[in-house]
Amino acid sequence: MTYKAPLKDMLFAIKHIANIDEIAKIDAFADAGFDTAQAVLGECAKFNEGVLAPLNWSADVAPSSLKNGVVTTSAGFKEAFKSYTEGGWQGLQHPPESGGQGLPKTIGAACGEMLNSANMSFALCPLLTDGAIEALLTAGSDALKATYLEKLVSGEWTGTMNLTEPQAGSDLALVRTRAEPQPDGTYKVFGTKIYITYGEHDMADNIVHLVLARVSGAPEGVKGISLFVVPKFMVNADGSLGARNDVHCVSIEHKMGIKASPTAVLQYGDHGGAVGYLVGEENRGLEYMFIMMNAARYAVGVQGIAIAERAYQKAVQYAKDRVQSRPVDGSMSKSAPIIHHPDVKRMLMTMRAYTEGCRAMASAAAAAFDAAHHHADASVRKANQAFYEFMVPLVKGYSTEMSLEVTSLGVQVHGGMGFIEETGAAQYYRDAKILTIYEGTTAIQANDLVGRKTARDGGQFAKQIAAQIEATEAALAKRDDVNCRAMLKRLSAARLAFIDVVDYIAANTKSNPNAAFAGSVPYLMLAGNLVAGWQLARSMMAALDHMAEDSSFMQAKVTTARFYADHILSKAQGVRDSIVEGAEGVTEMALEAF
């Protein structure tokens, strides 16, 4: 079976979790209410189901290839990318004045999920282009915007992010690529960049590289990093393409997953220097790059949800088709499809609940982003910006870690056949692994959550979120419903566990940093679990309120939320104990004993 977009669940989250009709009251999104969301998502589903999803398996088997410095993408990708750009999908969320459609992130995130479910390797090209667009919108000069923005927004050209070097992975203070100022105001760029997604390919006429480098004489460390636009082809005054710039692909990586996405090693300046153009001011490159990275981190979280959804769909289909053993309850006298077996249902429910919980969490974060950037009231913008920034490490960290569990369960549901590549379940497992690594590992997301989002204000904002969760508990308590009572019990216990951990992190980050950071990833996972559970509590109440609209769908929403409460949210207390009481188990082992 191929991919079928979960439109009902996406639209439910957009309507009841993101409150799209409230977003449509913002002037910039006046034409982007629920009806628009429905229409856009319907068209997006057709494209992804019909064009991209069928290429996913074949591209994994026959990935991108490099010959004489030229990368040829997998069969069908070039044509699919042409259809993608002609459909206006690259510009969906970007400003109309740059040729985009200016739709809210609330709608764009759902489209991004479909794109990644259909074909994650393909989706990485638009994802990186989005990052380049964000950086230029934020810090690019009028001249750079005039030259590059519309072509990037249309998808005629694509963009990359060039951070990593052989000696500088997550520690960007070690960046050694250099930029030498020229009399005409340009720079000559020299150095090697690795792990450059779509750093070379055949799907677009030009590639616009955003490159971190040090200007000659700049301070050491992160304070001396600048950001440059370095195009693959120079752009003439009339906008036409000119000579090839001095940037070349010397190899592409052979990877565990996302095989069809060409991950390039790029060499700058082997033939006299690559021409680069400064973005913003010298020595502020990291600040600008973080704008790209924050956009990309949210998008990678959505990738986790996307690959989990694809794995879930495949596992359900297999569980309905595979006949093996009689049901334990004696309800059938002969072997039955394995979906009748309680443990298979448990695995499928785990996959479904994680995916729906993270989708709801990402939808709530997207709504906050839209209000933070476009609401007329400055205080509303500020509050939503703080909420969105707190959510980014949760969406990225929790959603990607959960995708590993979900895709692993997908293989398990298939049994021995899951271990055979031809069934396709293994591809999702392999593809998911990179998500916890790139755009900042889970530990880096957790460091952000601990340092910037919790310790900096003594846990005050984290506790404001806990107060919002408590308000949802109060709403649950007013309902005479067995599922609401179960959710209330688990949500309340998880919130109290979260508050204990926030207090512990705030008290220990400076005085006992090893203890605080020993629990940083568990803290992130606890926070993600709680917030996803909170959004599913809201989903449960919305489904109960709208049962008459579609009783089978709404009942399934209630059942999924109840499962999440009893089987996933219930883990919070144990995680709390491991953080607050378990630091010594991490820190005390002598290094020579390893």
The CA distance from 49 to 314, in Å, is 14
3-class SS at 420? Answer: coil
Residues 193/164, Cβ–Cβ less than 8 Å:
yes
Q: Nearest Cα to 131, choosing from 103, 109, 152?
A: 152
Statement: 158-283 belongs to CATH 2.40.110.20: yes
The CA distance from 144 to 62, in Å, is 37
The CA distance from 539 to 561, in Å, is 7
Q: What is the pLDDT along the chain (594 residues), one digit of tens a residue?
A: 689 999 999 999 999 999 999 999 999 999 999 999 999 999 999 999 999 999 999 999 999 999 999 999 999 999 999 999 999 999 999 999 999 999 999 999 999 999 999 999 999 999 999 999 999 999 999 999 999 999 999 999 999 999 999 998 888 889 999 999 999 999 999 999 999 999 999 999 999 999 999 999 999 999 999 999 999 999 999 999 999 999 999 999 999 999 999 999 999 999 999 999 999 999 999 999 888 888 899 999 999 999 999 999 999 999 999 999 998 988 888 999 999 999 999 999 999 999 999 999 999 999 999 999 999 999 999 999 999 999 999 999 999 999 999 999 999 999 999 999 999 999 999 999 999 999 999 999 999 999 999 999 999 999 999 999 999 999 999 999 999 999 999 999 999 999 999 999 999 999 999 999 999 999 999 999 999 999 999 999 999 999 999 999 999 999 999 999 999 999 999 999 999 999 999 999 999 999
The CA distance from 511 to 564, in Å, is 36
The CA distance from 185 to 141, in Å, is 13
DSSP secondary structure, 91-114, as one string: TTTS-GGGT-----HHHHHHHHHH
Q: Which two tokens stand for residue 528?
A: 């993600």
State residue 284 phi and psi, 5-degree precision. Answer: -115, 20
| Per annotation, catalytic residue among 86, 97, 439, 592 | 439
The CA distance from 185 to 170, in Å, is 30
Residues 158/129, Cβ–Cβ less than 8 Å:
yes
Q: Which two tokens stand for residue 43?
A: 């068209």
Q: 423 has which bridge partners?
A: none
Residues 290/229, Cβ–Cβ less than 8 Å:
no
Residue 439 appears among annotated catalytic residues: yes
**How are beta strands 178-181 and 206-215 bridged, if at all?**
parallel
The CA distance from 588 to 594, in Å, is 12
Overall fold of domain 7-142? Butyryl-Coa Dehydrogenase, subunit A; domain 1 (1.10.540)
The CA distance from 519 to 534, in Å, is 22
Q: What is the pTM assigned to this prediction?
A: 0.98
The CA distance from 74 to 65, in Å, is 8
Residues 476/484, Cβ–Cβ less than 8 Å:
yes
Q: Nearest Cα to 560, choosing from 8, 14, 44?
A: 8
